[in-house]
């Protein structure tokens, strides 16, 4: 088992790829951080929605990216908890005039940290 510091650095790299994939609309980069069986759950305006990772990526592919729209990059990691080969990251993703908060579950698969679950909510 890797040290906390090593795992935190590896997870931070995954989260930065997640942020950059969203910001740039880079679907292959974004796909690289998710496990193929990941589930995405959204709480949007009190309504619950679920998507497969492929459905989520298709949505990213078919929209203009925050970068294309000239938005400032403001995404950040708010907290990270690591227990053995699992982790939970709370991140802030302010895009498209909304302030999203994501809870990302991560797990080690074949020696690599990947996002296994995403829960997202919009606070404005």
Average pLDDT value for residue range 104-114: 97
Percent of the chain scoring above 90 in pLDDT = 91
For the chain, the domains span 4-123
Nearest Cα to Cα of residue 33 among 97, 115, 99? 115
Q: How far is it, in rounded angstroms, from Cα 92 to Cα 121?
A: 10
User: What's the Rg (C-alpha) of the chain?
Assistant: 14
Task: Quick: pLDDT tens for 52-91.
Answer: 999 999 999 999 999 999 999 999 999 999 999 999 999 9
Can you give the three-state secondary structure of the chain, one letter per residue? CCCHHHHHHHHHHHHHHHHHHHHHCCHHHHHHHEEEEEEEEEEECCEEEEEEHHHHHHHHHCCCCCCCCCCCCCCEEEEEEEECCEEEEEEEEEECCEEEEEEEEEEEECCEEEEEEEEEEECC
For 49, the token pair is 């929605």
Q: What is the mean pLDDT of the chain?
A: 95
Average pLDDT over residues 84-104: 96
Q: What is the reported pTM?
A: 0.94
Alpha carbon distance 102, 30 (integer Å):
15
Distances (CA, A) of 56 to 3, 37, 68, 104, 111: 32, 12, 19, 14, 25
CATH class of 4-123: alpha beta
């Amino acid at each position: 088992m890797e040290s906390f510091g090593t795992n935190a650095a590896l997870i931070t790299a995954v989260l930065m790829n997640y942020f950059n994939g969203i910001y740039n609309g880079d679907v292959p980069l974004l796909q690289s951080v998710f496990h193929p069986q990941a589930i995405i759950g959204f709480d949007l305006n009190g309504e619950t929605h679920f998507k497969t990772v492929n459905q989520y990526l298709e949505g990213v592919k078919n929209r203009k990216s925050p970068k294309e729209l000239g938005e400032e990059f403001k995404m950040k990691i708010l907290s990270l908890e690591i227990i053995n080969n699992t982790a939970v990251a709370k991140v802030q993703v302010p895009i498209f005039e909304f302030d999203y908060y994501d809870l990302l579950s991560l797990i080690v698969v074949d020696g690599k940290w990947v996002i296994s679950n995403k829960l997202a909510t919009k606070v404005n």
